[in-house]
Chain A
Amino acid sequence: MASRARPLNLGPLVLAAVLLALVAGPLVTVAARAGQFVMVPQDWAAVRFTLMQASLSALISVGLAVPVARALARRRFAGRQALITLMGAPFLLPAMVAVLGLLAVFGRSGVMNDLLAEMGLPTVSIYGLHGVLLAHVFLNLPLAVRIILQGWQSIPAERFRLAASLGFGPSEVARHLERPMLWAVLPGAGLVIFVICLTSFAVVLTLGGGPAATTVELAIYQAVRFDFDLGRAAMLALVQLGLCAVAAGLVFGLARQVGFGAGLDRSLVIAGPGGWRRWADGAAITAAALFLLVPLGAVVLRGVPGLAEVPDVVFTAALRSVLVAIVSAAMTVSVALVLADAVARRARGFGFLEAAAVLPLATSGLVLGTGLFLIVQPVVSPLSVALPVTVLVNTALALPYVYRLVLPDAQTVVGDYGRLSDSLGLQGWPRWRWVVLPRLARPVGFGAGVAAALSIGDLGVITLFAGGDQGTLPLVVQQLTGAYRMQAAAGAALLLVGLSFGLFWLCDWGGRRASA
């Protein structure tokens, strides 16, 4: 095949450098306050537990997502698109809200144990490693399903038509079309979930059942807040970053690129295989929907009575959160697109770009916030930059997700239409306007939705920077729970979930519409 000279593009390189500085700068600043650092046995135990729970969470989420995504890809039924969208919702839940939703179903006085007790069966406890895994799968299965479903949709309908015309049975389709796609998609999906779970904190602590379930992120918390040992916090954050880097190295070694070639955007309805597979697909969709939607329903039921008690301050906080989310999402998507396009075109230094795009995923939010605070505070009052810093951090933290979502399609665009664009002299803005953006509208919309929702639900650095009167919605929810107002808090949390889901749905719908 023909190859070209690698384009030298300064824009993406500068962006990546800024990003790296944003992630590494705070870490270095925190580390500069350091004393000595040694890993104590508890730290190793934390590393072991972190690795175990994160790997299991990723494996289970991805493993369960495959049959669900396949079923959704090859079956058509009324309400399918709505179900796909709704099933994405758990990923957008703030951790504690999700935990309370799960407890309503699987908790000590939850629906499941009530049923078990009624049937005279022993009740089960959700607390422990299995509870952590349950919650992580609940939160991340939606993401895994969406990523894999996108993989399925990236196989042009023409290839399925070809397969059908060659008389391929389900197993041949799996071998020639689906398995190569899965090989390309699964490692990345697993990695993203692994890293999300790596830094999971509230879920692990609340459902873990005790100090045996201690993660590296909690050790960082302890270092900052209990021991006030910033050097230790920075080193632990580096350990966490290292774990992520090793995992990323392994995964990128595993992942293969597949070329299915381009289709003509024909929407062909390919009938899925019949027989028992029909039933299996139906069962997979039903089980996933129940697992994801029942706790979600519990969140709604808990919140509705509280809606009436929600004080006015919640609405101003909500407005602030929405604005922050929109700006963050726009910035995240722009940066992700520029980086993904440069990596897809194998621009000079694309390895560096890739690292910069994925690295923020493994950053400890606490260390990032603390470091930024140390950097900002001598120059300007942290209070006065609370919202810009929040936007910046949300952008950095959401970037890896959006980048990974956009990258495969960016690569497809370059692979399928790179030569055509080049031969027509399409570059700069016209290339973005007429080729990249229309081709990427779907993942861009989805990515913007994820970024907006993550930003809305994120408590992150705002606690360090915000004062009394510029809190975002999650902060106000936390203040309500801190003041015994659990019901109002549940109402505000429902509002939070509604807004986050609404923004997500709008972006996702916009993307799908634009690509149609």
Chain B
Amino acid sequence: MKTTLLAAGLATIAFPALAETPVLTVLTYDSFVSEWGPGPKVEAAFEATCACDLQFVGAGDGAALLARVQLEGAGSDADVVLGLDTSLTAAAAATGLFAPHGQAGATALPVAFDDPLFLPFDWGWFAFVYDKAKLPEPPKNFEALGASDLKIVIQDPRSSTPGLGLLLWVKAAYGDRAAEIWAGLADNIVTVTPGWSEAYGLFLEGEADMVLSYTTSPAYHLIAEGDAGKAAALFDEGHYLQVEVAGKLAATDQGALADQFMAFLTSEGFQSVIPETNWMYPAVTPAAGLPDGFDAFRPAKSLLMSPDAAMAARDAALAEWQAALAR
């Protein structure tokens, strides 16, 4: 009798959620979960409708997310993975861990996008951001940038998703000439940082004239700091897209809830939070439209490789990049 009581007591301590609401676990990158990211608002909005407990688990940055999914494998506690981008989805699909989402999908993307496994929740154009006061006439393309003596900071493609995005950008825009473009850029690159935040920090400290970031970065300074001085240089060869996607894990034990969350991703409750927390374009334009500054820098042309093409191109592109910059 005593032992059963004890066991029951232990069970309530160990599994407090068992008798209560179901838990949906979403694996994502750290900055999504942080107090300043979309996480808290998204959680409140979804929990208001689902009668469940939505738990975000941060797993480092975007590049670490896929590694984490692969580490956990089929034994993962997660039900949904949120925050992969299209340069990683081919590898993610190849794990066989993801199940079709069955959603209609995003409507506000500048390119056609249809992936049975991965559903876009936001997107952005990579761009070089600069200070208008210090740089009145920014270059119009990579060749002009390479020919100038401007200093830029970029991210390492081996450890960061923007870094990998830049690699694919140059490849998508210039194909076989990519190595030549990188050779031209080599003397402009002040340094290569491990991640986005280090690079952006260096730029703000005045270490470079331009930094690889997003066309929406100036909007942050405008809206959050009232600083209209930052701008994104528009390149005429087009801008590579980062499309951030979510996918349902096949091994989820909360299938229905996971489907409900996937549907929620493109709803107003989620999409209206994105612009001013994740500083990316929403995948479906919210009813209130886009905030100020989000229309300031819209490239005429969008570039995006298919996940498979990106996967196939990246090793050779990395080798070209290393060879050009190692000199």
Q: Which residues of B contact A (CB under 8 A)?
A: 30-31, 33-37, 39, 55-61, 63-64, 66-68, 70-72, 75, 77, 91, 151, 156-159, 164, 186, 189-198, 200-202, 204-208, 217, 220-221, 224, 279, 318, 321-322, 325-327
A377-B75, A468-B33 known; A225 vs B158 contact (CB < 8 Å): yes
Contact among A226, A374, A377, A467 for B57, CB-based, below 8 A? A467
> Does the CB pair B279–A484 fall under 8 Å?
yes
Residues of B within 8 A of A221 (CB): 158-159, 194
Tell me which of B58, B68, B75, B156 contacts A466 (CB under 8 A): B58
Number of interface residues of A (CB under 8 A): 55
Q: Is the CB of A207 within 8 A of B191?
A: yes
Per DSSP, are chain A's interface residues mostly helix, strand or loop, or mixed? helix
Q: How far is the CA of A407 from the CA of B204 in the complex (A)?
A: 45
| B57, A228: Cβ atoms closer than 8 Å | no
Partner of A483, one of B37, B156, B205, B207: B37
Q: Given A206-B191, A210-B191, A463-B30, do A481 and B206 touch, yes or no (CB 8 Å)?
A: no
- Cβ of A42 and Cβ of B322 under 8 Å apart? yes
* Number of A-B pairs, beta carbon distance below 8 Å: 161
Which chain B positions have C-beta within 8 A of A239? none
Q: Are A481 and B191 in contact (CB under 8 A)?
A: no
Q: Does A383 contact B (CB under 8 A)?
A: yes
21 contacts between A and B (CB under 8 A): A108-B206, A202-B198, A205-B192, A210-B325, A210-B326, A211-B156, A212-B325, A218-B158, A222-B159, A224-B67, A228-B91, A381-B77, A383-B57, A464-B64, A466-B58, A468-B56, A468-B58, A478-B30, A484-B200, A484-B221, A489-B201
Contacts of B55 in A (CB 8 A): 467-468
| Distance (whole angstroms) from the CB of A256 to the closest CB of chain B | 40
Which of A210, A222, A478 contacts B158 (CB under 8 A)? A222
Q: Which residues of A contact B158 (CB under 8 A)?
A: 218, 221-222, 225-226
CB distance from B33 to the nearest CB of A (A): 4
Contacts of B207 in A (CB 8 A): 103, 107-109
Q: Could you tell me if A485 and B71 are in contact, using CB atoms closer than 8 angstroms?
A: no
Q: Which 9 A-B pairs have the closest CB atoms?
A: A109-B206, A481-B197, A468-B33, A482-B31, A479-B34, A483-B36, A222-B158, A467-B57, A210-B325
Beta-carbon contacts under 8 Å, A23-53 to B: 42, 45
A473-511 contacts to B (CB < 8 Å)? 475-476, 478-486, 489
Annotate A95-138 by CB proximity to B: 1 below 8 A, 0 otherwise: 01000100110011100000000000000010100000000000
Contact of B201 among A42, A100, A127, A475 (CB under 8 A): A100
Instruction: Give Cα distance in the complex from A311 to B193, angstroms.
Output: 26
Cβ-defined contact, B200 with A209, below 8 A: no
Contact across chains for A228 and B193 when beta carbons are under 8 A apart: no
- Complex: A212 Cα to B207 Cα, angstroms: 20
Q: Bound state CA distance, A10 and B158, in angstroms? A: 45
Is residue A194 within 8 Å, beta carbon to beta carbon, of the partner chain? no
Q: Is the CB of A313 within 8 A of B194?
A: no
A45 CB → nearest B CB, Å:
8
Using a CB-CB cutoff of 8 Å, which residues 271-319 of chain A contact chain B?
311, 313
User: Is residue A167 within 8 Å, beta carbon to beta carbon, of the partner chain?
Assistant: no
Q: How far is the CB of B68 from chain A (nearest CB, A)?
A: 7
Q: Which residues of A contact B164 (CB under 8 A)?
A: 226
Residues of A within 8 A of B189 (CB): 209-210
Find the residue from A226, A377, A481 having the highest chain B CB count within 10 A.
A226
Using CB atoms, name the residue of chain B closest to A109.
Answer: B206
A208 within 8 A of B: yes
Is A373 interfacial (CB 8 A cutoff)? yes
The reply to whether A468 and B200 form a contact with Cβ atoms under 8 Å apart is no
B190 lies within 8 A of A127 (CB):
yes
Given contacts A212-B325, A225-B63, A225-B158, contact A482 B205 (CB under 8 A): no
For the complex, give the distance between the alpha carbons of A210 and B158 in Å. Answer: 12
Q: A86–B166 Cα gap in the complex (Å)?
A: 42
The interface residues of chain A lying within 8 Å CB-to-CB of B221 are 484
Q: Is B193 a contact of A205 with CB atoms below 8 Å?
A: yes
Pick from A201, A202, A468, A476 the residue with the most CB of B within 10 Å: A468
CB of A370 closer than 8 Å to a CB of B: yes
Distance A285 CA – B208 CA, assembled complex (angstroms): 34
B194, A205: Cβ atoms under 8 Å? yes
- A211 to B61 alpha-carbon distance, docked (Å): 21
Interface centre among B55, B190, B197, B221 (most CB of A within 10 A): B197
Write out the residue numbers on chain A whose beta carbons fall within 8 Å of the beta carbon of B197.
Answer: 478, 481-482, 489
A381 to B25, CA, bound (A): 12
Q: A215-257 vs B: 1/0 string, CB under 8 Å?
A: 0001001101110100000000000000000000000000000
Q: What separation, in Å, do the CA atoms of A205 and B220 have in the docked complex?
A: 27
CB contacts (< 8 Å) of A210 on chain B: these are 186, 189, 191-192, 325-326
Point out which of B75, B151, B159, B204 has the most chain A C-beta atoms below 10 A from its C-beta.
B159
Cβ–Cβ contact B192 & A481, under 8 A: no
Chain B residues lying within 8 Å of A481, measured Cβ to Cβ, are 197-198, 200-201
Instruction: Assess whether B68 is in contact with A211, with CB atoms less than 8 Å apart.
Output: no
- Residue in A96, A125, A202, A484 with the greatest tally of chain B CB atoms within 10 Å: A484
Chain B residues whose C-beta falls within 8 Å of the C-beta of A425 in the assembled complex? none
Query: A211 to B192, Cβ gap below 8 A?
Result: yes
Q: Is the CB of A311 within 8 A of B35?
A: yes
Question: Which A residues touch B204, using CB under 8 A?
Answer: 486
Chain B residue at minimal CB-CB distance from A302: B205
Q: Which residues of B contact A208 (CB under 8 A)?
A: 191-192
Contact check, B159 vs A226: say whether CB atoms are below 8 A apart: yes
Complex Cα distance, B68 from A45, in Å, reads 28
Chain B CB within 8 A of A428 CB: no
Which of A210, A311, A481, A489 has the most chain B CB atoms inside 10 A of its CB?
A210
- Contacting B at CB under 8 A, from A118-166, are 125, 127
Q: Are B71 and A467 in contact (CB under 8 A)?
A: no
Residues of B within 8 A of A464 (CB): 59-60, 64, 68
Distance in Å: Cβ of B278 to nearest Cβ of chain A: 9
Structural contact, B58 and A467, CB atoms closer than 8 A: yes
- Closest chain B CB from A208 CB (angstroms): 7
Whether the pair B156, A205 counts as a contact (CB closer than 8 A) is yes
Chain A, 453-470, contact with B by CB distance < 8 Å: what is the 0/1 string?
Answer: 000000000011011100
Q: Mark A42-82, 1 if CB is under 8 A from B, else 0.
A: 10010000000000000000000000000000000000000
Cβ-based interface call for A430 (8 A): no
Q: How far is the CA of A464 from the CA of B55 in the complex (A)?
A: 16
A317 CB to closest chain B CB (Å) equals 10
Report yes or no: B322 in contact with A228, Cβ–Cβ below 8 A.
no
The answer to whether A212 touches B326 (Cβ under 8 A) is yes
Give the residues in chain B near A127, CB-CB below 8 Å: 190-191
Contact between A104 and B205 (Cβ–Cβ < 8 Å)? yes
A81 to chain B, nearest CB (A): 34
Q: Report the nearest B residue to A203, measured CB to CB.
A: B194
Known: A107-B207, A222-B159, A226-B158. 6 other contacts (CB 8 A): A108-B190, A228-B91, A467-B58, A479-B30, A486-B204, A489-B201
Whether A485 contacts B36 by the Cβ 8 Å rule is: yes
Q: B58: which A residues are within 8 A, CB to CB?
A: 466-468, 471
CA distance A226 to B198 in the complex (A): 19
In the complex the two chains form, what is the Cα distance from A45 to B325 in whole Å? 14
Which listed residue (B72, B91, B202, B220) contacts A206, Cβ 8 A? B202
With both chains docked as a complex, state the minimum distance between the C-beta of B152 and any C-beta of chain A, in angstroms: 12
B115 to chain A, nearest CB (A): 20
